[in-house]
A and B are shown apart, each in its own frame.
Chain A
């Protein structure tokens, strides 16, 4: 049974950084990618970036290029999303989702439970 379990809610000050974890279980971690998606209050879904758990290759949305870093630790089947220089409009629910690598599987078929990141002074 596939599960993605994310770290807990955090409150950060403007200008700080946040690192959210996503621990995978129930499947072969290096065979898939992980994407990160956020939803700000009252807003839609926003894709942030993708990482291959096979070789660490990444793709980032232009909006977040230079401010977000995605990494994985295959020894613990965990993916991480670090977002720097936080602003109030980064307040959102952040999700990880299992993603494809080479088109051999559906995208975003399993999701984490979401991590609320609040940016407030």
Chain B
């Protein structure tokens, strides 16, 4: 099974700052990589799929990049509602999630 490693574990930033989250795969997942946002008491929300395509209704301050084994999720200007936990996930053959990155208010 392909293992996904996310870094950092926690990102402490202020509203308006830029957030850059990393996800590394143990072997190539091509562009079969998605990002999700998870808030307490809610179901996860799909943000990015195909490594760089924004899901329906996702603001353009969210962007994804990368291919193969190295991926990034960038939030250009953090809004108050963006403070949450973010997970990457691959979907080549099976699926698996990374361990998550918590974006917290500094």
Interface residues of A (CB under 8 A from B): 35, 37, 39, 44-47, 50, 59, 61-62, 95, 97, 99-100, 106-109, 111-114
Contacts of B94 in A (CB 8 A): 47, 50, 59, 61
A106 touches B100 (CB 8 A): no
Q: What's the Cα separation between A95 and B46 when bound, in Å?
A: 14
Tell whether, in the assembled complex, residue A35 and residue B95 are in contact, meaning their CB atoms are under 8 Å apart.
yes
B84 interfacial by beta-carbon distance below 8 Å: no
| Shortest Cβ distance from A105 into B: residue | B49
A47 with B43: CB separation less than 8 A: no
B93 contacts chain A at the CB level, 8 A cutoff: yes
CB distance from A47 to the nearest CB of B (A): 4
Give the residue name and chain of the B residue nearest to A60 (CB): B94
How far is A100 from B99 in the complex, measured between Cα atoms in Å? 23
- Residues of A within 8 Å of B36, CB to CB, are 45, 108
Nearest first, the 5 closest Cβ-Cβ pairs linking A and B are A111-B43, A106-B49, A45-B97, A47-B95, A44-B100
Rounded to whole angstroms, the CA-CA distance of A119 and B42 in the bound complex is: 22
Q: List 26 A-B contacts (CB under 8 A).
A: A37-B97, A44-B85, A44-B100, A45-B36, A45-B44, A45-B89, A45-B100, A47-B89, A47-B95, A47-B96, A50-B95, A59-B93, A61-B1, A61-B95, A95-B43, A97-B44, A100-B91, A106-B53, A107-B49, A107-B89, A107-B91, A108-B36, A108-B89, A111-B44, A112-B43, A113-B43
A79 CB, nearest partner CB in chain B, Å? 15
Indicate which residue in B55, B85, B95 contacts A109 across the interface (CB closer than 8 Å): B55
Tell me if B46 and A108 are in contact (CB < 8 A). yes
